[in-house]
Structure 1
Amino acid sequence: MANLSIRPAELSDLGTIVDVHTQARTAYYRAGGLPEAGIDTADGAAHRQRGWARSIESGDKRVLYVLHAGEVAGVVAMGPPLSSNTEADTATVGELYQIHVLPTHWGQGIGSRLHATLIQYLDEAALLIGQVEAWDRNHRAQAFYLRHGWRPTGHRRQGPDHSSYIRMHLNAVTA
């Protein structure tokens, strides 16, 4: 796709990144049938802003965004396995924390370009496995990951509205 560039995120990008995240999550939660009241909370945007700020300021996480024709169209965050995942070996596993593309840009290859930055990260860090969690009702995300070589591990954790998040792995050596 022409007119795409990927850049490291800075704190000055925070508002735009939170907006992309909010629009994407709203779309996939709606598509998954989550009741409107369960999609966000009064402090949801502030919570996302704090989380993205911590990731951007972190020395061990990488946050990038993609510009399409000069406008932010997607964002990705990656790094070592989250502390809640105690079984992951930090010497071999890198985690894709989040990847979000504006719904108006879905299906245009932007997610694949952001995914390629994860592959580059895993390669540069000499990590053998990529890890991600996808909401079990987000069939679009699961299909995206499967197309890119990810496979479910069988591990699930509690999600909203009696749902789960499905953990998936990617063999980075063959990706």
Structure 2
Amino acid sequence: MIRAATPDDLDAIAALHLEARSTYYRGHLADDDFAGPEELARSRDGWSRAVERGDVLCAERDGELGGVAAYRRGDGAVTLTQLHVRPDHWRSGLGTALHAACLDVWRAEGIATARLLVFEKNERARAFYASRGWIQDPDTPRSGTHLVLRLTVVPVAE
């Protein structure tokens, strides 16, 4: 089930975020850059602001949070700022469902272009996005250790 996040979800969202990031940053960045109590508090604060804006979707399975996505609108485009699935739910369809739900929201709002940053060494995420039509942004292909990807949000034919 995909639904809008509420403030009651914040602890679970922050924990899921930390767990997911640990899988792709470990071995590439210092642990303090993505884990630990300070990072958990910083992450929870950021998620709190996104939930307040109404820009967070949660994916539940068997009553538990299995995935989360956040986005931010601006200048006629949207940025997918986060899309995480608990590692024990990888390849279960939750990421696909979250991605589709984001597209539904964006289409309903008339958004034509989406962008995201993906950690260059996160090959799993890069493959996920590529299989859904995301391409490296030709205007701004990189941002530090991340690739900038772009997607044309195609309206659903009626």
Alignment partner, residue 48 of structure 2: 53
2:22 is aligned with 1:36: no
1:120 to 104, 111, 116: 104
Shift of 1:35: 4.1
Shift of 1:33: 3.3
Alignment partner, residue 92 of structure 2: 108
Alignment partner, residue 9 of structure 2: 13
Structure 1, unpaired ranges of 5+: 82-89, 159-163
Alignment partner, residue 22 of structure 2: 26
Structure 2 CA distance, aligned partners of 1:117 and 1:79?
15
The alignment's C-alpha RMSD in Å is 1.7
Task: Give CA deviations for 1:94-122 in whole Å, capped at 9, x if unaligned.
Answer: 11110010011111111000000111122
Provide the aligned length of Structure 1 versus Structure 2. 154
1:146 to 127, 130, 134: 130
Structure 2, unpaired ranges of 5+: none
SS at 1:166 equivalent: strand
| TM-score normalised over the length of structure 2 | 0.90
Structure 1 CA distance, aligned partners of 2:134 and 2:33?
28
SS at 1:64 equivalent: strand
2:136 is aligned with 1:155: no
Q: Identity, % of aligned pairs?
A: 32
Alignment partner, residue 169 of structure 1: 150
- With over 3 angstroms needed to count, the CA separation of the structure-2 counterparts of 1:62 and 1:38, relative to structure 1, is closer
Alignment partner, residue 63 of structure 1: 56
Shift of 1:151: 0.1
Would you identify which runs of 4 or more consecutive aligned residues in structure 1 move more than 2 Å? 32-42
